């Protein structure tokens, strides 16, 4: 069953552009990973250090495969070094109302 993830990230002071650059490179491969249906990034107009990533995955199994693959890539460390704190992650499902 498909599901969405909402991730909120805050860059360290003066590191927003560097974080966005790292994400631009990393998300190119995320978007082509089997099971990734969508990844969008939003930048807070009032506070450009604050980013929101919205992802949609086709299944839990594909997302877990992605997480395992991403762990092997070593990108997370360089991205986390640019962040004020670890990202807040919420798994959500759209409500049809």
Domains of the chain: 3-91 (3.30.70.100)
Confidence band of 93 (pLDDT split at 50, 70, 90): confident
Kindly report, residue by residue over 17-41, the tens digit of the pLDDT. Answer: 999 999 998 999 999 999 999 999 9
DSSP 59: -
Retrieve residue 87's tokens.
């990202």
How far apart are the C-alpha atoms of 12 and 58, rounded to whole Å?
32
- CA 89, 85, 73: angle at the middle one, nearest 5? 70
* Rounded CA separation 35/31 (Å): 9
- The backbone torsions φ and ψ at residue 96, rounded to the nearest 5 degrees and listed phi first, read -85, 100
- Model's pTM, two decimal places? 0.86
């Amino acid at each position: 069953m498909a599901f969405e993830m909402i991730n909120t990230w805050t860059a360290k002071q003066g590191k927003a552009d560097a974080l966005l650059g790292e994400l631009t490179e990393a998300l190119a491969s995320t978007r082509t990973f089997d099971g990734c249906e969508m990844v969008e990034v939003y930048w807070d107009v009032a506070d450009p250090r604050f980013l929101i990533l919205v992802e949609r995955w086709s299944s839990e199994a594909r997302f877990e495969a992605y997480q395992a693959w991403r762990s092997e890539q070593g990108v997370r460390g360089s991205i986390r070094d640019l962040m004020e704190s670890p990202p807040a992650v919420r798994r959500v499902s759209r409500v049809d109302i």
